[in-house]
């Protein structure tokens, strides 16, 4: 019989929200940067075998609202963000073997709250974000072989706090976000042609939703904000370029996280207006079911899938406004 289990693990050394978390090829989880009343450069590693965190070398500079991308060689590319005063062009690499940070080429644009995805050729596409002087539609590619960034064609729309995923054909799908209003529009980047093409718009405009690529290739977008937190969810089918409304979550969520489990279901956590319960989306039925209560309420946390399929939830901020260093694990036994 399968039981849903939430249980606490050891806390991080630092409280933090707006941080990044990446599951490394060695199974450990890297957490870096974020905010807890001050912008952070600290970093730490979670060891699933011992359930403990170890403080490691700090990043070269403080940053929040940055991105982290695992490269094909296992290293992690950190790009952009905000240092508490300015948005950043800087980028750096974490070497998962040596545990050291090195700076790499700067982006061509300052940006934070942008997206970053890795293409099948190993290059990393970033797009959109906030510059401090306005929202961006610019995009650029990072080449790990040369440590350089190349500006590519801009998106059709300015976007910040949008979502993106790589399709099976290596094109990049981007949806939603904000540019003065919440957006329903979506577009697709073709790396071979260096073009952005508008595709069908979502049924609901939204910023800060979650995006999940299901095992059947469809894309689930859930929650977010459009003048208030949303519980509605919808599916994009890349084969027909169409959206279909699916079941709504049990709770309107903003600042939540979504994780595709090994069985194909999607676990959504946090962002639920003071409620600690998580929920599961079943792609076969299109329905959501309650998946137990986390040990605390949290938003703007991270969710990382460990090698054994367990999900690590870390940090964030509580409904009462307390920055969190607590961490917990979700498993099915």
Q: CA–CA distance from 173 to each of 157, 182, 241, 260, 265 (Å)? A: 13, 17, 11, 18, 21
Taking residues 33-55, report their average pLDDT: 99
What are the tens digits of pLDDT across the range 158-177? Answer: 999 999 999 999 999 999 99
Looking at the chain, the whole-number percentage of residues with pLDDT higher than 90 is 97
Buried b (16+ CB within 10 A) or exposed e, 41-76: bbbbbbebeeeebeebeebebbbbbbbbbbbeeebb
Contact predicate 2/332, CB 8 Å: yes
Those residues with Cβ within 8 angstroms of residue 220's Cβ, 6 or more apart along the chain or in another chain: 210, 211, 212, 213, 214, 233, 234, 235, 246, 258, 266, 281, 283
Cα dihedral 139/142/143/149 (nearest 10): 80
Q: How confident is the model at residue 1 (pLDDT cuts 50, 70, 90)?
A: very low
Q: CA–CA distance from 216 to each of 30, 84, 185, 259 (Å)? A: 29, 41, 23, 15
Taking residues 36-41, report their average pLDDT: 99
Q: Got the DSSP string for 51-87?
A: TEEEEEPPPSS--BS-EEEE-TTS-EEEE--B-SSSB
Looking at the chain, the whole-number percentage of residues with pLDDT higher than 70 is 98
Show the tokens assigned to 145: 């072989």
Contact predicate 216/202, CB 8 Å: no
- DSSP secondary structure code for residue 279 in this structure: E
pLDDT at 2: 53
Those residues with Cβ within 8 angstroms of residue 240's Cβ, 6 or more apart along the chain or in another chain: none
Taking residues 13-35, report their average pLDDT: 99
Q: How many CB atoms lie within 10 A of CB 287?
A: 14
Degrees (nearest 5) of the Cα angle 298, 302, 304?
130
Degrees (nearest 5) of the Cα angle 11, 14, 20?
90
> Is 60 exceeded by the pLDDT of residue 143?
yes
CA distance 175 to 171: 13
Q: Please, how many CA atoms are within 13 Å of residue 292, restricted to the half-sphere of its CB?
A: 13
What are the tens digits of pLDDT across the range 62-93? Answer: 999 999 999 999 999 999 999 999 999 999 99
What are the tens digits of pLDDT across the range 254-306? Answer: 999 999 999 999 999 999 988 999 999 999 999 999 999 999 999 999 999 99
- Residue recorded with tokens 């801009």: 154
Q: CA–CA distance from 257 to each of 13, 26, 85, 119, 301 (Å)? A: 22, 23, 27, 22, 7
């Amino acid at each position: 019989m399968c039981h849903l289990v939430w249980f606490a693990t050891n806390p991080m050394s630092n409280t933090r929200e707006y941080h990044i978390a990446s599951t490394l090829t060695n199974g450990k989880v890297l957490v870096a940067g974020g905010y807890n009343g001050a912008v952070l450069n600290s970093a730490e590693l979670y060891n699933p075998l011992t359930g403990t965190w170890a403080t490691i070398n700090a990043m070269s500079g403080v940053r929040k609202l940055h991105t982290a991308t695992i490269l094909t060689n296992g290293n992690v590319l950190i790009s952009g963000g905000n240092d508490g005063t300015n948005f950043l062009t800087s980028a750096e690499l974490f070497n998962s073997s040596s545990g050291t940070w090195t700076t790499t080429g700067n982006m061509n644009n300052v940006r934070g709250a942008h997206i970053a995805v890795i293409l099948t050729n190993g290059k990393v596409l970033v797009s959109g974000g906030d510059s401090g002087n306005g929202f961006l539609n610019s995009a650029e590619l990072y080449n790990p072989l040369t440590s350089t960034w190349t500006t590519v064609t801009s998106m059709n729309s300015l976007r910040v706090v949008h979502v993106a995923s790589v399709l099976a054909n290596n094109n990049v799908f981007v949806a939603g976000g904000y540019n003065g209003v919440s957006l329903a529009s979506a577009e697709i980047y073709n790396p071979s042609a260096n073009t952005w093409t508008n595709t069908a718009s979502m049924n609901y405009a939204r910023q800060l939703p979650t995006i999940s690529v299901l095992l059947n290739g469809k894309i689930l977008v859930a929650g977010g904000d459009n003048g208030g937190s949303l519980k509605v969810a919808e599916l994009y089918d890349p084969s027909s370029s169409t959206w279909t409304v699916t079941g709504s979550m049990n709770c309107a969520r903003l600042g939540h996280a979504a994780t595709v489990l090994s069985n194909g279901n999607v676990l959504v956590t946090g962002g639920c207006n003071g409620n600690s319960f998580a929920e599961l989306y079943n792609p076969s039925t299109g329905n959501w079911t309650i998946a137990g209560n986390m040990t605390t309420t949290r938003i703007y946390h991270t969710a990382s899938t460990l090698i054994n399929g367990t999900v690590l939830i870390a940090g964030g901020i509580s409904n009462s406004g307390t920055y969190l260093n607590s961490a917990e694990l979700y498993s099915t036994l």
